[in-house]
A = this chain, B = another copy of it.
Amino acid sequence: MVAAARTRLSPEDRRAQLLAIGVRTLDDHSIEHLSFDRLSREAGVSRPLLFHYFGSRQGLRTEVVRLARDSMLHATAPDLTLPPLERLHDTLQRLVRFVHEHGGTFYSLVRGAASGDPEVRDAVDAAREVHTERVVAVFTELGHPDSEVLRLALRGWVALAEQMLVDAVGRLPDDEVVALMETSARAVVDALPPQRSKSSRLSQANR
């Protein structure tokens, strides 16, 4: 683990390496456990060097969570050559694989959505927004009008899918986990009331 200290790296590469070590710790520990002390031990570099790169423990945590989030979003990026439902299926399969390989990180990201730290929360909320946009795209391409209610329903479905991934990966066969998430998405959307336009809908809100 002290290799990082002994190898000559450009500052940029060393910074990236330190962040990668930070992300790896998320597989076993929640983000609240990531401190300069711990990373200094794990990476074999001094605390002042960490301070130099990240400014504060908070800055370090935020960057680690952002990198973990971006890795997840990259690993599950939709294959746009596929038609909508096949694309959803493929994305969900890769999400299940990500949870198998990086369960702790995924769990940290789900929990980070509710973190007491606003920067961590924003970083993770952004991932939920991306997931929501991806699945909104699936259903609008299938002909569902893009509406406030469709988005509410699919934001809800993203929360449902996160919970199912945390609960079911490793307990049920992967294809059943994928099928559960997939059929839930279709069922929730199919159960929506007929849609008016977004603006007329919002004007009817009760406060």
Contact = CB atoms under 8 A, between A and B. Distances in A.
Interface of A: 30-32, 110-116, 148-149, 152-153, 155-164, 167-168, 170-174, 176, 179-180, 183-184, 186-188, 190-193, 201-202, 204-207
A170 B207 contact: yes
Interface of A is mostly: helix
A20 to B, nearest CB: 23
As for how many copies of this chain the complex holds, the number is 2
A77 to B, nearest CB: 23
A35 to B, nearest CB: 13
Contacts of A184: 153, 156, 187-188, 191
A99 to B, nearest CB: 12
Contact of A152 (B115, B172, B183, B193): B172
